Amino acid sequence: MPRPARLPGDDRQCPRCKSHFRAEEIRRNQFVCAACDHHFPIGARERLDNMADGGVWTEIGGELRATDPLRFVDLQPYPDRLRSAEAKGNTEAIVCAELALDGQRCVAAVMDFGFLGGSMGSVVGERFAKAADHAVARGIPLISITSSGGARMQEGVLALMQMAKTIVSLDELHDAGLPFIVVLTHPTTGGVWASFASLGDVTYAEPGALIAFSGPRVIEQTTREKLPEDFGLSERQLVHGHVDAVVDRRQLAARLGRLLAILEQPPREAPQSLATQLAQNGTERAASMARALPQLSRRLRDRVMGEQSQTRRPGDRW
């Protein structure tokens, strides 16, 4: 018996609860199933639109593009893979931007799994470093939302070098006394998890996100052991203390806004010059002397009156 033809609406079905939805409905709900709260993949630019106040953000490092230093060819040349990925709308696996989140200025570095599996190549590392430098220059926090399969094999050791590069950029952020906030989404694995994704001052995760250096299938095939069903999931990472909280995507912007308000640093006053300090000290001394004059005059009057009362003789007139 032939299988019935699938209707177009069957493609819009939740993989967990099998409920159907309209594209506009799921987009309004930030790509979260309204029936079971399953979190669908979402692009970096859609995340920024949802996070930024009024959907307004300014991209950082968007002019950078990947090259082919190794002339890598697998099933197709690396430049052809890049062109196919760029045709989907992004120019790299990370989009960095400055934005206002719930009234708080910050820099966001958002990864996109739809671009070559969110793999970290040389441009991803450079854009992340530029975002950290921009945060230091502006004196504002850095937020990173990760979604990656690890380092990009088409760039070899150049991709692995980005692990050290991103960590060094975070050292400069730390030296400037600025917070680094990480949001781990599905999946965050490989070199990204082994570098900057695990260095957040505060670390959140989305529900059901896989967070591990190696995926469970790779580990099972290597060790020949069966892993727990919740291995590496964000809820399990919360139990082990690897994340601070598991936050629903629809509540993430408000949660980050409150956190930024708590971490906001008071404005620092510019150091005053020596001449200004001396002038202020002179003014304060003059003001204190002026305040003391009425009391000084009363003391002098009382003293004079006391001496006159002691020397007065009968019949004398004042």
For residue 187, say if its preceding peptide bond is cis, omega within 30 degrees of 0.
Answer: yes
Q: Which two tokens stand for residue 258?
A: 């409150």
pLDDT at 318 over 50: no
192 neighbors 148 (Cβ within 8 angstroms):
yes
Residue 268 has pLDDT above 90, yes or no: no
With a CB cutoff of 8 Å and minimum separation 6, the contacts of 143 are: 101, 106, 107, 108, 109, 180, 181, 182, 183, 256
Which distant-in-sequence residues (6+ apart) come within 8 Å of 206 by Cβ? 39, 183, 184, 185, 186, 234, 246, 247, 248, 249, 252
Q: What digits encode the pLDDT tens for the residues 127-171?
A: 999 999 999 999 999 999 999 999 999 999 999 999 999 999 999
Give the tokens for residue 132.
Answer: 């950290």
Cβ neighbors of 92 (< 8 A, separation 6 or more) are 64, 65, 66, 115, 121, 123, 124, 127
pLDDT of residue 13: 86
% of the chain exceeding 70 in pLDDT? 80
Residue 110 pLDDT > 60, yes or no? yes
Q: What domains, with CATH codes, occur in the chain?
A: 41-263 (3.90.226.10)
Task: Tell me if 230 sits within 8 A of 246, measured CB to CB.
Answer: no
Condensed to tens digits (0 to 9), the pLDDT of residues 11-50 reads 578 988 988 888 888 999 999 999 999 999 999 999 999 9
Helices (H), the chain: 23-28, 44-51, 78-86, 122-138, 157-175, 190-193, 216-223, 234-239, 249-263, 274-311
pLDDT band (50, 70, 90) for residue 6: very low
pLDDT band at residue 8 under the 50/70/90 scheme: very low
Q: What is the pLDDT averaged over residues 75-85?
A: 95
The predicted pLDDT at position 302 comes to: 67
Predicted pLDDT of residue 306: 64
Contact (Cβ atoms closer than 8 angstroms) between residue 248 and residue 229:
no
Residue 49: name the closest of 28, 72, 22 by CA: 28
